Amino acid sequence: MGLSDQRFNVNLSILFTELPLLKRPAAAAAAGFGAVELWWPWIEDPTPPQAELDALKAAIEDAGVRLTGLNFYAGKLPGPDRGALSLPGEESARFRANIDVAAAFAHSLGCTALNALYGNRVDGVDPAVQDELALENLVLAAGAADRVGAVLLIETLNKPESPRYPLVSAEAGIAVVDRVNEATGLGNAKFLMDLYHLAMNGEDLPSVIDRYTARTGHVQIADNPGRGAPGTGSLPLGDLLDRLTKGGYSGWVGLEYKPGDRPSAEAFDWLPAEARAAR
């Protein structure tokens, strides 16, 4: 597997979850990582008390790792909920309340990528109405990201696991990226290329990479089937990462896989220590 040209971070919302949140940054550092990313950690609260934000910030700083990616509030992850920004009513309001909080927290740690999950389709609501609401909220999120020097990431998921999530192809994700950039004129909306989700959707991954690397702001990986560590499934992740590099991608590669029946610290044997240390 070609790894020498990649910068890897570890997602602390799917790895090291056997530990309390505030202990995970130090555990990632002990495993040799210099950078981490997170889903929004407070799944019930888009605007947690400042003391909780400060405690997480201190845990990341004390561990000596860099926060490179953060999700906006997206409901209960993992679980059946997928995003909030296109859900009418309370959830959309919660997303809006979270925008400046998440952007400020990211900025305080030098994080320059904010991910906005789109949101499931809702019974009895016209999809066009949801799409209009989504665009309104994504414009607000893109503006907040721009003010703190960050990109706004748009992620596709996969239909088998998220059957009500509307963005289940690279093309659908790119279309939203284009709509946001057209609406804001900022150009800071980018595609989050998650190779696991795209593989689950049956996409031609080399073709996706060739078409969309230049529009990609972040990459995430897990093997397929199983969403385990590289080498536990059949995806040629080394070849795919090499293809990304040759296509000009030089950003972070987030490790967003399940550790399996073992402690998370033992789930990185495929990755040389020197490839984990980028900050």
Locus of tokens 């994080």: 111
Residues that are catalytic: 155, 256
Helices then strands, each counted (H, E), the chain:
8, 8
| Spatial separation of the C-alpha atoms in residues 166 and 179, rounded to whole Å | 15
261, 16 in Cβ contact below 8 A? no
Continuous segment of H or E residues that includes residue 244: helix 237-246
Separation CA 146–CA 41 (nearest Å): 22
- Enumerate the β-bridge partners of residue 152: 114, 189
The CB-based long-range contact list for 59-62 (8 Å cut-off, 24+ gap) reads 59/21, 59/22, 59/23, 59/24, 59/25, 59/26, 60/25, 60/36, 60/109, 61/109, 62/25, 62/26
- Only one residue has tokens 């309370």, namely 90
